[in-house]
Amino acid sequence: MKKLTILGSTGSIGVSTLDIVAAHRDRFEVVALTGGNNLELLTSQIETFSPKIAAVISEESARKLRKSLKGAKTEILHGIPGMIAAATAAESDMVVSAIVGAAGLVPTVAAIKAGKDMALANKETLVTAGRIIMDMVREQGVRLYPVDSEHSAIFQSLEGHRKEDLKRIVLTASGGPFYRYPVAKLAGVSISDALNHPNWSMGKKITIDSATMMNKGLEVIEARWLFDVPVERISVVIHPQSIIHSMVEYLDGCVMAQMGVPDMKAPIAYALTCPERVPTGVRGLNLTEVGSLTFFEPDNGRFPALALAYRAVNDGESMPAVMNAANEVAVEAFLQGRIRFTEIAAVIEKTMDAHQPHVLNSVEEVLNTDRWGRAKAKELIGL
């Protein structure tokens, strides 16, 4: 029986994780949950899985949750201390880190320091603090299993092969809703247009990141740290069908690819059970139905955010943290109707231009850099 903590249980990854748990009650027990503003869903999750701990952001949310769960044995906590308590719960064997954005960094770090194996869906943890996190993982002797479909595909394609035989990693991207959209019209796309992803069902922030291809830029940086590969050996290709989730090319010219229908339950389940596999309810892949698989080079004129991610890695250790902070602010401003779609990348670039990159020596320095990036991006937007 594997005992789990799920950070971000009310998001899309958290919900899918709990679907897998529900289908395999003989294999998993939920020890702790953390959620955001969806208290109705979190209440339902607590009633279903009876965790020992549940944590929310605010004291007011905690008070509401206690009221709705009157008589329940779950301890309700709040704030950063509550998130850390959930992440470090003594009974937990593995922590699923699924909080969206840089907010997931602190509880993820706490879980690693507590010696918990990690199923990592929060890519921003490695984007903002990659070297620090991977050093910590090695020092604590914990296992880190990728949950993103792309990184899970790479992880699976590397298994059983020698690292020294690796030539390059190829991350696939759907291209989102705009990979063939007229560039001249991108400034006028609506929020609903940008949220209309053709293949995946995700939260709003990640869906916008997919539309700008910043999501793929973040994944490039995450892959650099997860697999200890220079960014020059990580490339991106647009694959609209989202059937091949990523590929690994070896020195002999052979390419290993992991394939499947676009459904996050498969990579989540593999992270939870590796090296075993369990039924997930994911529909099997029928290539005759798919018909054809197509691939395109990304257009940096259409997707400047992807080029900014490569620049961030090369500029210096603190720059990815600044880039990520500016992106989170800009995406939220777009979703609020304050800036146009094309201004997301423009705000990120101007924020990066104003930053002097430096080495990050601690998590606190990462958080300070994140705060600087957010403040500068808000200043540029006029918030």
CA distance 346 to 323: 11
Helix, strand, or coil (residue 245): strand
Domain edges within the chain: 2-146, 161-260+287-381
Token look-up 């998590």 returns 363
Q: Are 29 and 3 in contact (CB under 8 A)?
A: yes
Residue 252, SS3? coil
- Mean pLDDT over 172-178 rounds to 88
Assigned CATH topology for domain 2-146: Rossmann fold (3.40.50)
Mean model confidence pLDDT for the chain: 94
198: number of Cβ within 10 Å: 14
The pLDDT assigned to 298 comes to 92
pLDDT exceeds 80 at position 74: yes
In tens, the pLDDT along 288-337 reads: 999 999 999 998 888 999 999 999 999 999 999 999 999 999 999 999 99
- 91, two tokens: 């009974």
* Span 216-225, pLDDT tens digits: 999 999 999 9
pTM for the full model? 0.92
Whether the per-residue pLDDT at 202 is higher than 80: the answer is: no
In the predicted model, what is the mean pLDDT of residues 29-43?
93
Q: In b/e form, how buried is each residue of 26-57, taking b as 16+ CB within 10 angstroms?
A: eebbbbbbbbbeebebbbebbeebebbbbbbb
The hierarchical CATH code for the domain 161-260+287-381 is 1.10.1740.10
Report the b/e string of 266-279 with b at 16+ CB within 10 A: bbbbbbbbbeeeee
Q: How far apart are CA 143 and CA 168, in angstroms?
A: 23
Mean pLDDT, rounded, for 33-53: 93
- Which residue has tokens 């470090």? 88
**C-alpha to C-alpha distance for 156 and 87, rounded to whole angstroms:** 26
pLDDT at 194 over 90: no
**Residue 278 confidence (pLDDT) above 90:** yes
Residue 104, pLDDT score = 86
Q: Once rounded to an integer, what is the mean pLDDT over residues 29-45?
A: 93
Residue 361 has pLDDT above 90, yes or no: yes
Give the whole-angstrom CA distance, residue 232 versus residue 227: 13
> 46: which residues sit within 8 A by CB, 6+ positions away?
33, 54, 65, 69, 72, 74
pLDDT at 300: 86
Mean pLDDT of 31-41: 92
Q: Length of the chain, please?
A: 383
56 DSSP 8-state letter: E
Cβ–Cβ under 8 Å, residues 34 and 111: no
pLDDT at 200: 62
Q: Which range, of 15-19, 70-74, 201-205, 216-220, averages the lowest pLDDT?
A: 201-205
Q: How confident is the model at residue 201 (pLDDT cuts 50, 70, 90)?
A: low
Identity of the residue numbered 342? T
